[in-house]
Amino acid sequence: DTGVSQDPRHKITKRGQNVTFRCDPISEHNRLYWYRQTLGQGPEFLTYFQNEAQLEKSRLLSDRFSAERPKGSFSTLEIQRTEQGDSAMYLCASSLSSGRAIETQYFGPGTRLLVL
Amino acid sequence: DAKTTQPPSMDCAEGRAANLPCNHSTISGNEYVYWYRQIHSQGPQYIIHGLKNNETNEMASLIITEDRKSSTLILPHATLRDTAVYYCIVRSETGATNKLIFGTGTLLAVQP
């Protein structure tokens, strides 16, 4: 098991462009989370999926953001018409929920986005 | 989920035990205490979690007070690679949400 992976690790884009990030969770983990982290702050929750269903979205997730997990495995996070305020580290985490016990989330290395 | 309070920073000498405190005075009966750490420019790393009893694994020990209002993460022999921001998070087993709520954590600086 190689853990949660994210691609790309770094992305530089110009304001107004669209960007897409990918997250591959730990194999057989049914829950997948996206967080955003700005400099000096702890990660903030954006959204999460159980299998392919998106069950919760934060108010931080504006209409320019969309996340998908089409087959319940990998997930993508797209930001349309990027703004300089979108510059942050985007973190993905996954967990295995059995419904019986609290589950532990394991994080990927993150994608660092810089919007010029 | 209950809120936590941690000191913003701590120093520790290499080879000595690092004791990181966390206050969670409003914790409720079904809430767990989780610890993560984040080394610079990396994703958060899970360390340990507990409900009532003290817990130990290969990374650290977690000591939870009897009233559960505070806890201490212990790194028994800190190394330079333990320099990181440590986050204490309280999380409900049966909460309406599964998200982790991070504060600003404690920056532990291990000194040579």
Are the beta carbons of A48 and B99 separated by less than 8 Å?
Answer: yes
Is pLDDT of A115 > 70?
yes
Are the beta carbons of B43 and A109 separated by less than 8 Å?
Answer: yes
Res A97: pLDDT: 83
Q: What are the tens digits of pLDDT across the range B50-59?
A: 999 899 999 9
Is pLDDT of B41 > 60?
yes
Is pLDDT of A53 > 80?
yes
Would an 8 Å CB–CB cutoff place A99 in contact with chain B?
no
Given a contact cutoff of 8 angstroms between Cβ atoms, the answer to whether A34 and A46 are in contact is yes
**CA of B76 vs chain A CAs: smallest distance (Å):** 23
- Collect all residues of chain A within an 8 Å Cβ-Cβ radius of residue B95: none
Are the beta carbons of B46 and A105 separated by less than 8 Å?
Answer: yes
* 3-class SS of residue B100: coil
Q: What residue in B sits closest to A102 (Cα-Cα)?
A: B93
User: Across all residues in chain A, what is the average pLDDT?
Assistant: 93
Are the beta carbons of A102 and B87 separated by less than 8 Å?
Answer: no
User: Across all residues in chain B, what is the average pLDDT?
Assistant: 92
Report the percentage of chain B scoring pLDDT > 90: 80
Is pLDDT of A1 > 80?
no
Res A94: pLDDT: 96
**CA of A15 vs chain B CAs: smallest distance (Å):** 23
* 3-class SS of residue B94: coil
Is pLDDT of A41 > 80?
yes
Is pLDDT of A72 > 90?
no
Res B107: pLDDT: 97
The rounded Cα B15 to chain-centroid distance in angstroms is 19
